[in-house]
Amino acid sequence: MHAINKYSLFNVSKKLCGCFKYASHFVYHPEQISNKFGKTNKKNMYQAINEAMDLVLSKDSNSVVFGEDVGFGGVFRCTSGLRDRYGKDRVFNTPLCEQGIIGFGIGLAVAGTTAIAEIQFADYMFPAFDQLVNEAAKYRYRSGNLFDCGKLTVRTPCSAVGHGALYHSQSPESFYAHSPGLKIVIPRGAHKAKGLLLSCIRDPNPCIFFEPKMMYRLAVDDVPDDDYEFPLGKADVLIKGRDITLIGWGTQVHVLLEVAEIANKDFGISCEVIDLVTILPWDKQTVANSVKKTGRVIVSHEAPLTGGFGAEIAASIQEECFLYLESPIRRVTGYDTPFPHVFEQFYLPNKWKCLQAVKELVNY
């Protein structure tokens, strides 16, 4: 029997972990932009988000940024350098208390302050659920439009990251989509993130801005240096197609873009790819127009199947497009389990699962 060097095994293990730790389940598709917004520079998503907040803080003297560790730059560095530039009275840390962070933000917004709150992980926003859905979402309605907290924006990292397991990988957007009065936005990359965050901050309604954390450094775009915004509630048709519609948001958009490329190259299937962009309110008209054209549709998201926002989209398509459908509506999603650690790659709705669904629906 050969002796086994435990240190050699440890080193091999470290190398293997290094190979997979940063591996993503998708290929990022950089944004193709025009020069309509002026000069651009290469920036990743966390830099674009930082730049958006920097612009707001510089232009609006009544704006503040707060949350756990934001004074130090935050765990993902999105607020890096802001306290140095604007002072600890405008960029400051809070206690580790999510319901306190959101309640404080609501109070600031009602008093007229532009409040940009950070919840360190979307998984930990549930203690603030009551503040968001019973206070922030209803403030305008309950006061007969006398008062509102529309100046509140809540930023939070979400979705898979490669090693986050059950408490740092969830996609909880559908929980908050059931709350009229909120707006819910998920960007697909750096260019969209900056413009959408600026739109959220300036929108007259409280917004939750979910940031797919895997793209903080992976998503690199030509991002305009100047101030710009994107409309909320408007989906983007990224690829036009004729055979099947693929709908996603956040990270999953890039999975679907790759699926569309493979389906066209290997099987001659023309896919139309839609980034929903805004979960609430969502762009029903763009989706309906696409499905009426293609007759087939897949909705894909990382969140579990049951109660995921894909179910709402599927129900609306069934109501609006039933006579145009050539096959059943298909959802390709995460499983109805807690988000796993070592089995993350099996859990995620990757390109192969989505491609299989495309082939099955086209051949239905």
- Would you please indicate which residues are annotated as catalytic (active-site) residues? 98, 168
Which residue is listed with tokens 């190259």? 265
User: Could you tell me where the beta strands, DSSP code E, fall in 163-296?
Assistant: 183-185, 207-212, 220-224, 236-239, 244-248, 271-275, 278-280
CB of 220 closer than 8 Å to CB of 42? yes
b/e sequence 46-77, b meaning 16+ C-beta within 10 Å: bbbbbbbbbbbbeeeeebbbbbbebbebbebb
Tokens of 317: 């398509």
Q: List the structure tokens of 223.
A: 């991002």
Closest C-alpha among 53, 160, 88, 168 to residue 120: 168
Residue 105 in contact with residue 152, Cβ under 8 Å? yes
Question: Two tokens at 67?
Answer: 């949350």
